[in-house]
Amino acid sequence: MKDVEMKMLERAKALLESGEVARVIGWKKGDFCFDPAPASFETVEELDNFVYDYFCGANLSKYLIQMSKKEGKTAVFLKPCDTYSFNQLVKEHRIKRENVYVIAVECMAKLDIEKIKAKGISMVESVEVVGKEVKVTSAYGVETLYKPDVVLTKCATCTKTHQVKDEEIILHERPARDVDRFEEVAKLEAMTADERFAFWREQLSKCIRCNACRNVCPACSCVKCVFDNPASGIAAKANDDKFEEQLFHVIRAFHVAGRCTDCGECSRVCPQNIPLHLLNRKFIKDIDNLYGEYQAGETDEGKTPLTSYTEGDAEPNDVMNGEAK
């Protein structure tokens, strides 16, 4: 990963120095090795803080809504999963494609510090990844973990590939894997309605309405969110019942249905570890079953299955009965 970072830095410098781009969106070092954060770099000097490692899981595509409106071009580093969000936002006319220079970068699955900490390791100082081994150096010594145990949930079932690139920095190919991203959804489907209601009620009861999921979600990019709009008549209802408030997540899932690329950022940023991505994946699975397989963000044009009608579409009663196409 160090070699990839070097190459990215080299390109970022060249692009800024030549004036080809006005800024580069990437990740900057945090206080610790495990908390790099998205950042915009406008000068070569600022790049001193640039970092790209196994903790750079954040999806940078949403920042381009604002950045692509600015003067001059914006270069951005996009991992495979981020490119789907990028395409979806271009399709919805939120990103000005002509103002963006996309550098596709390899991913190799990112690590989840929460999962590392859950292994009983605290005061992490540095992390080194060799193949499937993760060597974690902490104040208490060095421990070796099995990588698939500590990758981000969104990375565990990822099979995505770059959908858009103006250039690429890929020094190592990620080996192909056979994973089923709907395994967890199938478990929920197997529950009775009462069990499922209890499951979500419990999960959503943890919500503190910090709005991190909404703020990070590339599909949640409304100029004015309905939940922030007093005229929508939703705000006051939330006070009636605690669970009604938490239905926020269900409404949000409906709003992004057919547009969600399954980038998994919602679950990654949730401080309460609510598996929010499962709501979206249920919609994705249903759309696949009812209207044929569809991956949002695979292209930057065309209609989504939920906003188009074709003669082969499932009849409403098929939808009611959840019958596959």
Residues of this chain that bind other proteins (CB under 8 A): 69, 91-94, 221-226, 229, 232-233, 255-256, 259, 303-304, 307-309, 311
CB 102 within 8 A of CB 165: yes
Nearest distance in Å: CB 260, other proteins: 11
Q: What spatial distance separates the first Cα and last Cα of the chain, rounded to whole Å?
A: 43
By beta-carbon proximity to other proteins, the closer residue of 2 and 93 is 93
By beta-carbon proximity to other proteins, the closer residue of 56 and 219 is 219
Q: Which residues of 175-203 are buried (b: 16+ CB within 10 A; e: fewer)?
A: eeeeeebbebbeebeeeeeeeeeeebeeb
Nearest distance in Å: CB 265, other proteins: 17
By beta-carbon proximity to other proteins, the closer residue of 147 and 255 is 255
By beta-carbon proximity to other proteins, the closer residue of 89 and 107 is 89
Rg of the Cα atoms in the chain: 21
Nearest distance in Å: CB 243, other proteins: 17
By beta-carbon proximity to other proteins, the closer residue of 53 and 262 is 262
Nearest distance in Å: CB 302, other proteins: 9
> Environment class of residue 143 by beta-carbon count within 10 Å: exposed (0-12), middle (13-18) or buried (19+)?
middle
Residue 276, token pair as written in the block: 């929010």
By beta-carbon proximity to other proteins, the closer residue of 189 and 244 is 244
Residue showing tokens 């919609």: 283
d(CA 242, CA 247): 9
SS3 241: coil
d(CA 119, CA 143): 10
d(CA 150, CA 195): 29
Nearest distance in Å: CB 307, other proteins: 4
d(CA 219, CA 233): 22
Nearest distance in Å: CB 10, other proteins: 35
